[in-house]
Amino acid sequence: MLVAAAVCPCPPLLVPEVATGAAPELDTVRAACTDAVGVLAAARPDLLVVVGPVRGDVGLERYPEGSTGSFHGFGVGLDVRLGADRDTSTGRALPGALAVGAWLLERTGWANAPVEGLGVGESLAAGRCAEQGRDIAAEAERVALLVMGDGSSCRTLKAPGYLDERAAPFDAAAARALGAADTVALQALDGGLARELKASGRAPWQVLAGAAEAAGTALRGTLLYEDAPYGVGYMVATWS
């Protein structure tokens, strides 16, 4: 059963070594992410699943505890590991969002429960996302989720996706749903619009919605952060 969740953005810039001189600009969102992971630890889960987007039509990819990733592609000699080294890795490198999640857990000294990873294809249908969430919620008596994903990438002229007037309303709707733990509103997010706005969080958020629905108990949501640095919507929320 799902007992807690933390929602965090997944830009590589969240890692100070990648952001270099711009690192202080994201100190506030980093602090919010640290607080969110603290809520997961306080829930005393038996299992933590890190859920994050994967580009393309890949469907679902599972990553066992011990899987590794890196930020070498950004010119940084930094490696990360998903949870403890249990010699169970498939040899596949963690995708970017899960690598950022692994970094967050290492940064906060996570040692509270075993960790697994789930990569979710950005085009995966809402119903399939919810189904996967329900499956995850059944994997242990007390399950927690660390859900990685960004809002739209079209909030300003200099944003990666340029300015799109639909971006701010989309992000506002997502932030309201995440802050209120509103599973119905999350499930209603338009996957086609999310792709057009380059909002990578849509599918992971809908996995969360399915997991919460399967829990059968109302979780309380809190929005810790919402802003659009660099024209990309970043949201941090907790459900507990």
pTM of the model: 0.96
The tokens of 128 are what? 């399939």
SS3 143: strand
Cα separation, 150 vs 13, in Å, equals 12
Other C-beta atoms closer than 10 Å to the C-beta of 21 total 6
> Contact 49/116 with Cβ under 8 angstroms?
yes
- The per-residue pLDDT for range 46-98, each reduced to its tens digit, is 999 999 999 877 789 999 999 999 999 999 999 999 988 766 556 789 999 99
* pLDDT, tens only, 137-176: 999 999 999 999 999 999 999 999 999 999 999 999 999 9
